Structure 1
Amino acid sequence: MSTDHLQGRAAPPAEVVPPDLRMARRIWPFLLAAAVSLLPFTVFGTFLVPIAAATGGSVAEIGGLRGLGGLAALLVGVAIAPLLDRIARELVAAYGLALLGISSLLGAVGNVFALAAFCLLIGAATSVLGPSVGAAAADRFKSEAAAGRAATLVTATTSMTAMLAAPVVALPALIWGWRGNLVAVGIISLALSGAFFYRGRGRKAPLAADSVRVGYIASYRALGRISGAVPLLLVAMLRTAAFMGYLAYLAAFYDERFELTPGWFALVWTLSGASFFVGNLLAGRYIAMDRPWIGPERMLVLALGVALLSVVAFYFAATLPLALLLTAMMGASHATVAACVTTLLVRRSGDLRGSALGVNAAGMSLGVFLGAAIGGLGLGLGGYPGTAAAFGLITAIAIAAALRVRSPLSLAKSNRV
C-alpha cells in the first residue's frame, strides 16, 4: 500500500487511456491477426453447401466436422495456457498463424479427411493465436486501464470480423470459388506469420527468469490465486454457453415463430452481430475511463442481469419487433460481459495475462459445447419455454459467480475489518 499520503506527497495521477484510434495504430498488427484468425471457419460456414457437395457428403456430416475444432481448441488451450507467458508473444502468434495458414491450404484439398484435419488444426491454431495477440496488445501499454482496453479492442475487432467477413469472402469467391478463398487465407496467414516471427526475434518472454522456473501445475495454482480469476473464468464459460446456445437455435425460432426465410434472417444475424460489436466496443471504452461511475465488477453483474431478462423474455416474444429488440439486447449485454471479463482478467493477472486469456479461451470453447447440448435438452423436454429455462438457469449461475468478483476497494475494506 502506498504511503505517499502519509509523507505529504500526492499520488501520481492515473494514466489517461489513449483514444481508440491512437491505440489501434499502435497495435494494428495484432488486430489484423485477430481478424484473420476468423476467416478459415467463416469460409467453411459460408460455403458449407458447395463444400459438402464437393466431398460427396451431406451438409450435416460435413458441418459436424466443425465440432472437432472446438474440441481441439479446448484441449490445446488447456494444455498450452501456462506456456503462453514463457515464450515471446510475437513468436506464439507466429506459430499460431503458421498453423492457420497450413490448415487453410490443407482444407482447400477438399476431401473429407483433409477437411477433418482442417477443422482440428484451425481449432488448435485459434486457441493459441487469440490469447497471444490479446496479451501482446495489452503488453504495449503500461497502465492496467490501457492494457485492458487494448485487449478489448482485440475482441471488438474479432466480433466485427465475424459480422462482416461473410460478405467479404463471398465477393472473391465469385472469381475463384471457396478453394481460392482458403488458398488466399493460407497465403495471408503464412505471410503474417513470417512478419510476426521477425518481430519476435530477440524479444523476451513476459515472465522474468526466476518466474520461468515455476512448474507447469504451479502456474495453474498461481492463476487460481489471482483475485477473482476463478469466478471470472466461470462467468466467461457460462456466458458463452448461454449466448452460443441461444444463437444455435436462433434461426429455428425465427422461422417457427415469425416464418422468416433465410434471406430475411440474415438481417437478424447482422443485427445480433452489430449489437455485440457496438456493445463490446463501447463497454470496453467506458470501463477503461479513469474512475467510471460504474466499475467493471458492478457492470458485469448488471449486464448479466439484462442478459437473463432478455433471454427469458425472448422465447415468449409474441411480435417480431419485440423479438428483434430482445435480440439486440442479448448481443449488447453479452458483449458487455465479455468486455468486463477480458478487462478484469488482463488488469489482475499481470505477467500471467497470457495464461489467463488462454484458459479463458479454452473455457469458452467448452461453453460452446455445453450451450448447444443444454439448449437442445431444454428444447426437447419443454419446447422453447424449456430452452428459456435452460439458458436462464445458466445465466443465473453466471450472476452468482459474478457476485464473487469483488472490486479492489471492497477487498481493501474487508481486509481492514
Structure 2
Amino acid sequence: IIAEIWPALLASAVGLLPFTVLSTFLVPIADWAGAGYAEVGSLRGLAGVGAVLTGVALAPLIGRIAPGRVAAAALALLGIAAVLGTFSGLAALAAFCLVTGISNALLYPALSTAAADRFGNTPTAGRAATLVMTAQTLASTVGAPLLVLPALWWGWQGNLVAIAIASFALVPALLRYGRMESGAGQPAQPAPRLGYLAAFRSLAAIPGARALLLVSFGRAGALMGHLAFLAPLYADKFQLSTGWFAFVWSLSGGSFFLGHLLAGRMLNAEDSERRTRAVMGIALAAALLALLGVYLSPVLPLAMLCTSVLSASHAVVSAAVMTLLVRRCAEVRGTALSLNAAGMSLGLFLGAGAAGAALGTAGYLAAAAVLGGFTLLALIAALTLCTATNDESMERQP
C-alpha cells in the first residue's frame, strides 16, 4: 500500500508541520508577537473558519476534480501560508492560521480520496485512507524534536521557510500522482458525477453518515483544543521549557501514530462494522477519563501517561470514523471525506476558541470542562450510531 500511495503520505506529513511549529513554539511566538498564550493559541481556531467554509463549499467537487491536482494546489497554498507566518504581528499570524486551514481543508480529503480510490471498495481502501492520516501523526511524532534542533540555529521562522520549500517541491509529484494508474494496474474508476446538491442529498441518505460526522466534530474539538494549550499547561504546571516540551509533544504524537496505525490495521482486517463501532465507543470513554487525568494529575509522569492515553484513544476513534465513512460512502467518498474534514475543522475552531476563553477567564480546569463537553458529545453520537444501526438490522430481519 505504501508503495502505491507514497506521494500522498509525504504530502500528508508536510501538511501537519505548520501547526506543529505553532504548538511547539507557542510560548516564544506569543512573546515575539507581544500577546498572551491564550490569545495566540486561539488564533489556531481561525484555521477552522477557513477550513469549514472551504470544505463545505467544495465538498461535492473533491470527487469530480482529479484528487492529485486538488492536493497539489492545496500544498502550494500551504507553502504560501508558511511564508506568511514569518512576518511579524498578530495579523500575520492570523493570516497564517487562516490560509493553513483552507489548505488543509482541501489537502487531506483529496489525499485520502486518492489513496482509497486506488483500491476500489475493498477493505484495503479504508486501510489506505487511514494510512494518509497515520503519516500525518508520524510527522507530529518526529516533527517536534526535529524542528527544535534547527530552530536553535535559524529560529522558528526558519522552520516555516523550510516547510514552504518542501511544500513547493512536492507539487510536481502530486500532479503526476493524479495521473498514475490504480494499485491493480488499471486506471482508477472515477466516482459518479453527481450534481452539486445531489452529492449532499446522497450523503445525507446514507445510514449513520451524519452521526459519524458529529463524532469527528466532537473528537476534533476536544483533542485540538487540548493540544492548542498543551505547551503552556506543562510550562505553568510543571515548569517545562520549550526544548523539554518537545518530548511531551512527541509522546502525544507517537501515541496517536501507534494508535492510528494499529487501529487502521485491526479495523480493516475484516468487514466487521459492529466491532468498529464498539471500539469507537470504548475509545471515546477512555479519552474522556484521560482528559481529566491530564488536568488533575499532581505529578509529571502521571500527566504524561494520561497525555499518551488521550492521544491514542483519539487516534482509534479517528481511524474508526475514517473506516466507516470509506466503507459506507463509496459513491460519494470525496464529498464525505471533505465534509468530515470540515467538521473536524469546525471542531478545531470551536474547541480552541472555547478552551481559550475558558482558560483566560477561569483557568485550566474550566478549559478541561469545555473539552470534556466536546468528548461527551462525540460519545453520545457514537452511541446513537450503534443504536440506529442495530434498529435498522432488526427491521431487516424476516
- State the match for 1:25 in structure 2: 3
- State the match for 2:314 in structure 1: 334
- State the match for 2:184 in structure 1: none
Residues 3-54 of structure 1 show CA distances to partners (whole Å, capped at 9, x for unaligned) of xxxxxxxxxxxxxxxxxxxx1121111001111112333345555677678x
Aligned partners of 2:79, 2:385: CA distance in 1, in Å? 39
Aligned partners of 2:45, 2:373: CA distance in 1, in Å? 24
RMSD: 3.2
1:282 paired to 2:258: no
- State the match for 1:58 in structure 2: 34
Change (3 A) 1:374 1:169: closer
- Range moving further from structure 2, 340-349 or 36-45: 36-45
How far residue 362 of structure 1 moved from its aligned partner, in angstroms, is 1.2
- State the match for 1:91 in structure 2: 69
Alpha-carbon contact 1:375-1:387 (below 8 Å) kept: yes
How far residue 374 of structure 1 moved from its aligned partner, in angstroms, is 3.6
- State the match for 1:221 in structure 2: 201
Aligned partners of 1:327, 1:230: CA distance in 2, in Å? 29
Change (3 A) 1:142 1:410: farther
Alpha-carbon contact 2:144-2:247 (below 8 Å) kept: no
Q: What is the identity, as a one-letter code, of the residue corresponding to 2:265?
A: R
1:391 paired to 2:371: yes
- Range moving further from structure 2, 270-279 or 292-301: 292-301
Aligned partners of 2:75, 2:170: CA distance in 1, in Å? 7
Change (3 A) 1:376 1:143: same
Could you say which structure has the larger radius of gyration?
1
Aligned partners of 2:362, 2:35: CA distance in 1, in Å? 27
Unaligned runs of 5+ residues in structure 1 are 1-22
1:77 paired to 2:55: yes
Change (3 A) 1:373 1:70: closer
TM-score by length of 2: 0.85
Aligned partners of 2:90, 2:232: CA distance in 1, in Å? 27
- State the match for 1:156 in structure 2: 134
1:414 paired to 2:395: yes
How far residue 217 of structure 1 moved from its aligned partner, in angstroms, is 2.6
Count the aligned residue pairs. 389
Change (3 A) 1:244 1:46: closer
1:311 paired to 2:294: no
- Range moving further from structure 2, 30-39 or 263-272: 263-272
Q: 2:339 aligns with which of 356, 359, 362?
A: 359
Change (3 A) 1:147 1:252: same
- State the match for 1:241 in structure 2: 221
Q: What is the identity, as a one-letter code, of the residue corresponding to 2:53?
A: L
Alpha-carbon contact 1:48-1:59 (below 8 Å) kept: no
Q: What is the identity, as a one-letter code, of the residue corresponding to 1:369?
A: F
Alpha-carbon contact 1:303-1:337 (below 8 Å) kept: yes
Alpha-carbon contact 1:51-1:110 (below 8 Å) kept: no
Q: What is the identity, as a one-letter code, of the residue corresponding to 2:191?
A: L
Instruction: Tell me the percent identity.
Output: 49
Q: 2:114 aligns with which of 136, 139, 160?
A: 136
Aligned partners of 2:337, 2:84: CA distance in 1, in Å? 28
How far residue 268 of structure 1 moved from its aligned partner, in angstroms, is 2.6
- Range moving further from structure 2, 240-249 or 179-188: 179-188
Change (3 A) 1:253 1:362: same
Change (3 A) 1:74 1:262: same
- State the match for 2:277 in structure 1: 297
Aligned partners of 1:162, 1:111: CA distance in 2, in Å? 26
Change (3 A) 1:378 1:303: same
Alpha-carbon contact 2:45-2:353 (below 8 Å) kept: no
Q: 1:207 aligns with which of 156, 176, 191?
A: 191
Aligned partners of 1:309, 1:48: CA distance in 2, in Å? 26
Alpha-carbon contact 1:89-1:205 (below 8 Å) kept: no
How far residue 373 of structure 1 moved from its aligned partner, in angstroms, is 3.8
Alpha-carbon contact 1:88-1:205 (below 8 Å) kept: no
Q: Which has the higher contact order (CA 8 A, sep 6+)?
A: 2
Aligned partners of 1:201, 1:375: CA distance in 2, in Å? 43
- Range moving further from structure 2, 216-225 or 295-304: 216-225
Alpha-carbon contact 1:134-1:154 (below 8 Å) kept: yes
Aligned partners of 2:348, 2:151: CA distance in 1, in Å? 29
Alpha-carbon contact 2:290-2:306 (below 8 Å) kept: yes
Alpha-carbon contact 1:306-1:333 (below 8 Å) kept: yes
Alpha-carbon contact 2:23-2:228 (below 8 Å) kept: no
Change (3 A) 1:34 1:58: same
Q: What is the identity, as a one-letter code, of the residue corresponding to 1:361?
A: A
- State the match for 1:119 in structure 2: 97
Alpha-carbon contact 1:49-1:59 (below 8 Å) kept: no
TM-score by length of 1: 0.81
Q: What is the identity, as a one-letter code, of the residue corresponding to 1:92?
A: V
Aligned partners of 1:405, 1:90: CA distance in 2, in Å? 33
Q: 2:82 aligns with which of 95, 100, 104?
A: 104
Residues 318-361 of structure 1 show CA distances to partners (whole Å, capped at 9, x for unaligned) of 44433332222111111111110111111111031111111111
Alpha-carbon contact 2:12-2:136 (below 8 Å) kept: yes
Change (3 A) 1:52 1:246: closer
